């Protein structure tokens, strides 16, 4: 079985957010970059667990990005990917990115495509569904559990107010979230081995970008905090009633 895992480069959650070019681009200076956690902790690790059960499983990684994404891809290879493909393109348009991933998936004839449920920078949760549509394959989103019975996938996913279990024949595209697997850290053997694993850069296929960034805005600054002495309950009640208007 061949699994394609989608990997994104995202800023660390502690990164200071700023914008350049008239607030149309993210300022990258001094930013620490990481593998998108949903891609790493849930999609990739679940693929690795499937490979541990069945050593014949092949795990390929795919990223749409420029050469500065290579260190992130190498970390993903250190965790357990067999080889990686980087589509040499720089875009934040979901459709364009999905079109590149779908083309790689078509060429590789994968049985299973895993994505994270979303990236932590854009939170769009759009790529998985678009890839499935472009491949004309079933799509299961927000998966919390994934098992295989031959060529049938049994997938648990969150729904409003509960959980449902789906059964679908391979090939299938699945977006993964918390519950799918547990976080892992690359060991020294994996880190050393990742240096020699194939990382192939390919040129993008022709595809239209359907969206563009008009501008970014930071959220409004939080209001100051008022401290009330523990002995002054009356003042606290007055503030909650007159200013916060919660009582």
b (16+ CB within 10 A) / e for 181-208? beeeebeeebeeebeebebeeeebeebe
Q: CA end-to-end span of the chain, whole Å?
A: 59
On the question of pLDDT at 213 being above 90, the answer is: no
Nearest to 24 by CA among 225, 217, 239, 237: 217
Tens-place pLDDT, residues 88-106: 999 989 999 999 999 999 9
pLDDT for res 79: 93
- Identify the pLDDT of residue 9: 92
Contact 79, 48 (CB under 8 A): yes
Residue ranges of domains in the chain: 2-219
Confidence of residue 239 (pLDDT cuts 50, 70, 90): confident
Q: Which of 57-66, 123-132, 166-175, 230-239 has the lowest mean pLDDT?
A: 230-239
Rg (CA), the chain: 22
> How much is the average pLDDT of 141-152?
95
Mean pLDDT calculated for residue range 3-31: 89
Query: So what's the pLDDT on residue 112?
Result: 97
CATH for 2-219 (3.40.50.720, 3.40.50.1820, 3.40.50.620, 3.30.390.30):
3.40.50.620
Determine the average pLDDT of the residues in 66-77: 94
Residue 144 has pLDDT above 80, yes or no: yes
**For residues 79 and 43, is the Cβ–Cβ distance under 8 A?**
no
**pLDDT of 55 above 80:** yes
Contact partners, residue 66, CB within 8 Å, separation at least 6: 88, 89, 90
**Residue range 156-172: mean pLDDT, rounded:** 94
pLDDT score, position 81: 92
Confidence of residue 203 (pLDDT cuts 50, 70, 90): very high
Position 1 pLDDT exceeds 80: yes
Low-confidence winner among 23-32, 69-78, 206-215 (lowest mean pLDDT): 23-32
Local structure of 242: helix, strand or coil = helix
Tell me what pLDDT residue 230 has: 85
What's the predicted TM-score (pTM) here?
0.85
Tokens at 86, concatenated: 């980087």
Closest CA to 121 of 195, 227, 12, 240: 12
Q: Which two tokens stand for residue 33?
A: 């970059």
Report the C-alpha gap between 26 and 164 in whole angstroms: 38
Predicted confidence (pLDDT) at residue 224 exceeds the cutoff of 80: no
Predicted local confidence at residue 196, as pLDDT: 86
DSSP string, 79-144: HT-SEEEEE------HHHHHHHHHHHHHHHT-SEEEEES--TTT----HHHHHHHHHT--EEEEEE
- Residue 58 pairs in a beta bridge with 2
Residues 6+ apart with CB under 8 A from 170: 1, 111, 112, 151, 152, 153
How far is it, in rounded angstroms, from Cα 220 to Cα 200?
A: 42
Residues 6+ apart with CB under 8 A from 204: 64, 87, 88, 89, 100
Residue 222 has pLDDT above 80, yes or no: no
Using pLDDT thresholds of 50, 70 and 90, give the confidence band for residue 18: confident
């Amino acid at each position: 079985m061949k699994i394609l895992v989608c990997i994104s480069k995202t800023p660390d959650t502690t990164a200071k957010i700023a914008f350049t070019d008239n607030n149309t681009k993210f300022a990258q200076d001094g930013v620490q970059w990481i593998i998108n956690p949903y891609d790493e902790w849930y999609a990739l690790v679940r693929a690795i667990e499937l490979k541990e059960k069945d050593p014949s499983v092949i795990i390929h990684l795919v990223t749409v990005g420029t050469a500065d994404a290579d260190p992130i891809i190498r970390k993903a290879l250190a965790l357990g990917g067999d080889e990686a493909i980087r589509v040499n393109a720089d875009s934040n348009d979901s459709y364009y990115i999905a079109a590149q991933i779908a083309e790689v998936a078509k060429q590789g004839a994968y049985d299973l495509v895993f994505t994270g449920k979303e990236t932590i920078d854009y939170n769009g949760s759009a790529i998985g569904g678009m890839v499935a549509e472009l491949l004309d394959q079933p799509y299961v989103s927000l998966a919390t559990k994934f098992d295989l019975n031959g060529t049938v996938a049994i997938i648990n996913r969150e729904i409003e107010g509960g959980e449902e279990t789906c059964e679908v024949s391979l090939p299938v595209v699945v977006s993964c979230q918390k519950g799918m697997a547990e976080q892992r850290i690359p060991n020294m053997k994996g880190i050393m081995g990742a240096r020699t694993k194939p990382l192939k850069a390919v040129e993008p296929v022709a595809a239209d970008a359907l969206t563009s960034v008009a501008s970014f805005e930071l959220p409004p600054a939080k209001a100051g905090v008022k401290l009330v002495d523990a002995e002054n309950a009356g003042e606290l009640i007055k503030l909650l009633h007159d200013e916060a208007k919660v009582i």
